[in-house]
């Protein structure tokens, strides 16, 4: 049984690693830009966390078969193969950081495999260190987006940017006629009133941009942005076809995680006038986008979207995003369910977690509440209870 499980985890893990890391990207990457740089890049911490989890199952399988040392060697070898292969793939580049983190992830998986029986007994006994770990495993990823999604406005000099070519963004073919926050002008260049504009952003004042519409771009186009002198994003507005995308710099982006956007699909498609005013405002506990006379305040995500802080996957369609969020919440409910002693307790714990998450999302001005998140959390905590029973029985046989 142990050999079969090891082969299953190592095989599926290797397929997942190769499939996710060797698929070419269409986005160009500057050759050699980050090859020898450790934890570099705008989303370096998010990438590191993902790589740990990506190589964990492979290392777990090898650990079951051969032990921790073999898990480390196997993970290093697989990662080295990936990094060498990426040198010839479009949009990919080898990275010393990836090699180290991937090997560490596989090694942790190997340690987990070797210590599996002892961990099973620990879950059955429910000592306070185990309970603390289980609580934090659910609470931190579930509730941290309430803090990480808060906009971040550093005390540095700000510059406005109107329809520029920026990184992988082309310049929007229309034009910006004027921009302001709280009535204070944001020009195309260094902002004159630095302190006033920074305070207006921090106070949640309305951001307004008057634009002359251009041809719909067939790829993401830069419309308007504010960046600081270190090129840290304050706010970025792009146009992709008829869609309007608003992205803010937050605590998460400062920590080099990802951050979901506010996307208004088809926003510009039905506009008949040559010029239109875009407004971004805070109304009650919601972020709202206004285009002319039309307004939307339901475009954000709640705590169920915490996975987007690791990778927003290009902000997928609502149905797919909800499906991924449901799976995310299910797995977040598992550790909490491992603490419960009855199925009913697990269900009530999931209900309490879902209610608390909905309340936090509703109270936060940067999140949007969705009541359906209760269901996957309840299913996750109930599954956690059954998993504890299974692991307890396995540990007692050992």
- 158-181 pLDDT, tens digit per residue, is 999 999 998 889 999 999 999 999
User: Do 78 and 14 form a contact (C-beta atoms < 8 A)?
Assistant: yes
- 30-49 pLDDT, tens digit per residue, is 444 556 678 888 889 999 99
- 294-332 pLDDT, tens digit per residue, is 999 988 889 999 999 999 887 788 899 999 999 999 999
Q: How many CB atoms lie within 10 A of CB 305?
A: 24
Are β-strands 158-162 and 221-228 bridged in parallel, bridged antiparallel, or unpaired?
antiparallel
The more confident residue out of 11 and 33 is 11
Output the pLDDT for position 94. 81
CA-angle at 167, arms to 162 and 168, nearest 5°: 105
Output the pLDDT for position 31. 47
Output the pLDDT for position 35. 61
- 111-127 pLDDT, tens digit per residue, is 999 988 787 777 777 77
Output the pLDDT for position 26. 55
Are β-strands 221-228 and 170-171 bridged in parallel, bridged antiparallel, or unpaired?
parallel
Residue 84 token pair: 């060498």
- What count of Cα atoms within 13 Å lies in the side-chain half-sphere of residue 62? 25
């Amino acid at each position: 049984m142990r050999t079969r499980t090891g082969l299953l985890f190592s095989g599926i893990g290797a397929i997942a690693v190769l499939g996710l890391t060797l698929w070419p990207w269409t986005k160009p990457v500057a050759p050699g830009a980050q090859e020898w740089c450790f934890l570099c890049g705008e989303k370096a911490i998010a990438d590191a966390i993902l790589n740990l989890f990506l190589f964990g199952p492979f290392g777990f399988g090898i650990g079951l078969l051969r032990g921790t040392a073999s898990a480390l060697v196997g993970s290093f070898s697989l990662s080295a193969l990936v990094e060498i292969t990426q040198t010839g793939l479009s949009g990919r580049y080898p990275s010393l950081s990836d090699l180290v983190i991937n090997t560490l992830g596989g090694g942790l998986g190997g340690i987990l495999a070797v210590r599996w029986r002892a961990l099973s007994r620990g879950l059955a006994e429910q000592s306070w260190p185990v309970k603390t770990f289980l609580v934090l495993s659910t609470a931190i990823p579930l509730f941290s987006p309430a803090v990480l999604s808060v906009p971040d406005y550093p005390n540095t000099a700000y510059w406005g940017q109107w329809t520029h070519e920026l990184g992988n963004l082309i310049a929007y073919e229309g034009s910006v006629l004027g921009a302001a926050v709280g009535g204070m002008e944001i020009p195309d260049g260094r902002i004159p009133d630095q302190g006033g504009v920074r305070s207006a952003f921090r106070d949640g004042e309305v951001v307004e941009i008057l634009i002359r519409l251009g041809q719909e771009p067939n790829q993401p186009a830069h419309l308007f942005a504010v960046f600081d002198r270190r090129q840290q994003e304050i706010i970025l507005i792009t146009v992709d076809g008829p869609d309007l995308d608003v992205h803010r710099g937050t605590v998460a982006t400062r920590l080099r995680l990802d951050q979901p956007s506010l996307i208004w699909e088809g926003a510009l498609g039905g506009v008949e006038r040559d010029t239109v005013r875009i407004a971004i405002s805070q109304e009650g506990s919601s972020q709202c986008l206004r285009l002319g006379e039309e307004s939307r305040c339901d475009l954000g995500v709640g705590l169920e979207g915490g996975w987007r802080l690791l990778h927003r996957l290009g902000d997928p369609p609502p149905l797919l995003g909800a499906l991924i969020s449901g799976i995310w919440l299910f797995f977040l409910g598992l550790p909490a369910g491992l603490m419960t002693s009855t199925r009913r307790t697990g269900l009530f714990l999931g209900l309490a977690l879902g209610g608390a998450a909905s309340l936090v999302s509703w109270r936060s001005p940067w999140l949007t509440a969705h009541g359906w998140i209760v269901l996957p959390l309840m299913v996750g905590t109930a599954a956690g209870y059954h998993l504890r029973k299974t692991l307890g029985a396995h540990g007692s046989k050992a």
